[in-house]
C-alpha cells in the first residue's frame, strides 16, 4: 500500500496513483455521489446507443476518476486503520505509572471505537469497488 499513496497534507490534497481526490473540499461530495456515478456509467454501457468519441473519452475519464477516488480513499483509510491498531498496541503495552493507566484506557477505548468506524468504512468501500469492478468486467472483459 505504501506504493499507492503520496500524501501532501500541507496543501490539503491527498494523491493516489498521482491523482488528487481531495480537491477544493469537494472530496466528500464526490464520494457521496459515487453510487450515482457508477450506475450512470452502467446504464450508459447497457444502452444500445452508439457512443461518440467525445462520449467515450468522457466515460473513460469518469471511470478513471471513480477508480482513483475509491482506491485513494481506501488506501488512506487503511493507513489510518493501521496507525490506529499500532496506537492501541502501544498503549496496551505501556509500562507507565499508575496515574497514566486510566488515561491510556480511555484512549484505547476511543481508539477501538474509531477502529470499528474505519473497518465499517473500508467494508463499504470494498462493496463499491466490487460493484464497480463487476460493471467494468462485464462490459470490457478485463
The confidence score (pLDDT) of residue 110 equals 86
Name which of 118, 133, 106, 132 is nearest 38 in CA terms. 132
- As a residue count, the chain comes to 142
Segments making up each domain of the chain, as ranges: 5-140
d(Cα 99, Cα 102) in Å, to the nearest integer? 7
d(Cα 31, Cα 76) in Å, to the nearest integer? 14
d(Cα 13, Cα 55) in Å, to the nearest integer? 29
Nine-digit cell at 5?
499513496
Per-residue pLDDT tens digits of the chain, which is 142 residues long: 333 334 444 444 444 444 444 445 455 566 777 888 888 888 888 887 777 888 888 888 888 888 888 887 888 888 888 888 888 888 888 776 677 787 888 888 888 888 888 888 889 889 888 988 888 887 776 5
d(Cα 59, Cα 52) in Å, to the nearest integer? 10
Amino acid at each position: 500500500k505504501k506504493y499507492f499513496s503520496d500524501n501532501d497534507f500541507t496543501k490539503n490534497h491527498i494523491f493516489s496513483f498521482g491523482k488528487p481526490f481531495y480537491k477544493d473540499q469537494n472530496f466528500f461530495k464526490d464520494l457521496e455521489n459515487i453510487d450515482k456515478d457508477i450506475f450512470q456509467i452502467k446504464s450508459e454501457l447497457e444502452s444500445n446507443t452508439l457512443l461518440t468519441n467525445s462520449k467515450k473519452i468522457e466515460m473513460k475519464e469518469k471511470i478513471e476518476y471513480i477508480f482513483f477516488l475509491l482506491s485513494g480513499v481506501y488506501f488512506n483509510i487503511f493507513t489510518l486503520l493501521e496507525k490506529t491498531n499500532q496506537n492501541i498496541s502501544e498503549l496496551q503495552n505501556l509500562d507507565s505509572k499508575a496515574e497514566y493507566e486510566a488515561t491510556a484506557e480511555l484512549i484505547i477505548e476511543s481508539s477501538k471505537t474509531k477502529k470499528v468506524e474505519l473497518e465499517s468504512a473500508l467494508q463499504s468501500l470494498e462493496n463499491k469497488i466490487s460493484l464497480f469492478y463487476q460493471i467494468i468486467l462485464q462490459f470490457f472483459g478485463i
